Structure 1
């Protein structure tokens, strides 16, 4: 059994503002991410499936992907680490159909979620709304559908309360673990560390049992795939039109349609990166 873990930071316990997830504030950077990952690995070790697990691939997926120390691989000899950027499929780099399950750790609610801690969808600077096939997206669902195209279930998601509420009726078989409950975009009630550690360990054990039993429904969309993005301002949409195949709907709104979800994910990433360039024009 191979486990794929994609990590973010905004949904981690103990985190409530941007400076805590950047190298501007070393008091927080890495600390809560690596600690939470330790609990996840502890859960693997304590699970009935531990002897069947031969690889744990962790994809460092916040910002430039330089948040997890290489030294963390010493915590378990089965840990491999994806680090750095830019890279294909970004938050899902290195995933292929040899993996048995996907975990999302430190994920957060989608853009516009009420009381979602640092809510955004792939870009806090550019994206106002993002939909796929008419459904409002967060990063969990976008990435879960990528795994689903390979037939891989998402069995565990660790994130904030607003994210759990977004996923509850969609990923019904997935173990959802809440780290904190938002009071606003930058304030939250944090769970006690000892309680959360226990929940993570038990959640991992349950997630792996469900993976082994094939009891988790695969999450995916039906083609054709339509990506719908509304940007925060018009210059972002202006710049995004450099990407072939995009259709301009109005000043801030673009659409893209294709038959391959892999192509959709790569195009979405390229559009978001390209749109950021637009913010520098006119300064």
Structure 2
């Protein structure tokens, strides 16, 4: 359980600021199968139910404390949350593809919440991947193996936005503690394989999430949260693709350099530029992945 000293509500009509909530899927409790991950799949309703339930809980607590809230639906086609279930005072960013995918709508926030986040590609953890399980074998940012959590936190940090709460796959915890130790960390599942995990009851998950949100509010108001910033003169993002065919297509993007059969890099002047380059390379590689699949 997470303990906290409590957060006092703002005065009536007072807006405390904006909190950005990015909601992924694979780090949510009970999510273990591709059958849960996309609209049209037989178990997609399970993802929609748990994502909506936990997002609503977090958003409602933040609104009660005087914050405006922006929720970014951030998995797959990014239409996983039922927007009509969100409380008044919440804006929902939906749809894919979109620029700055998982952090679209974050600018100007007091702090960010990452909900349902998971471990990076290559980690022994349930459904671990980095932005695209079909396309990306390894992603690095200035030599650091980067999860979605880390790349998103770096971009928000460049914008002056701290990460205040991360909730997701238990195996992500070490990375959160390493890069954003000021953030509240809440494990939602414990991996027992790539397609299996263990989570507590939904009632216990909700209790823990409620306490974690309150603690993030306390830390924000106490000035304990910090934007994640690196002393970098330039930012090189490199993707090692699952197939040389994907790398070949990604390398068509101006400014890229293909240094091995499967790896393509892009050197940027900022994290935001590097993030946009990553998105473009993944989209290009993904197009080739879809094309080659249709030819089989």
TM-score by length of 1: 0.93
Aligned equivalent of 1:20: 36
* Deviation beyond 4 Å, 4+ runs, structure 1: none
Contact residue 224 and residue 258 of structure 1 kept, 8 A: yes
Contact residue 59 and residue 90 of structure 2 kept, 8 A: no
Indicate yes or no: 2:225 matched with 1:216.
Answer: yes
Aligned equivalent of 1:95: 106
- C-alpha separation between the residues in 1 aligned to 2:49 and 2:94? 17
Aligned equivalent of 2:163: 154
Structure 1 residues 45 and 70: CA distance shift in structure 2, 3 A: closer
Contact residue 228 and residue 256 of structure 1 kept, 8 A: yes
- C-alpha separation between the residues in 2 aligned to 1:240 and 1:41? 37
Aligned equivalent of 2:254: 244
TM-superposition CA deviations, 1:68-113 (whole Å, max 9, x none): 123123xx211111111221101111121x2101101111110011
- C-alpha separation between the residues in 2 aligned to 1:268 and 1:128? 13
TM-superposition CA deviations, 1:116-139 (whole Å, max 9, x none): 110000010011111101111000
- C-alpha separation between the residues in 2 aligned to 1:269 and 1:167? 23
Indicate yes or no: 2:85 matched with 1:72.
Answer: yes
**What does residue range 79-228 of structure 1 map to in structure 2 within 5 Å?**
79-96=90-107, 98-114=108-124, 116-221=125-230, 222-228=232-238
Contact residue 7 and residue 107 of structure 1 kept, 8 A: yes
What RMSD, in angstroms, separates the aligned Cα atoms of the two structures?
1.4
Contact residue 239 and residue 264 of structure 2 kept, 8 A: yes
Aligned residues: 274
Contact residue 43 and residue 203 of structure 1 kept, 8 A: no
Deviation (angstroms), 1:42: 4.4
Contact residue 121 and residue 129 of structure 2 kept, 8 A: yes
TM-superposition CA deviations, 1:205-260 (whole Å, max 9, x none): 11011111221221133230011111111101111111111111110111111112
- C-alpha separation between the residues in 2 aligned to 1:169 and 1:64? 30
Deviation (angstroms), 1:45: 5.5
Contact residue 21 and residue 28 of structure 1 kept, 8 A: no
In structure 2, the gaps of 5 or more residues are: 1-16
- C-alpha separation between the residues in 1 aligned to 2:62 and 2:105? 20
- C-alpha separation between the residues in 2 aligned to 1:149 and 1:72? 32
- C-alpha separation between the residues in 1 aligned to 2:233 and 2:130? 22
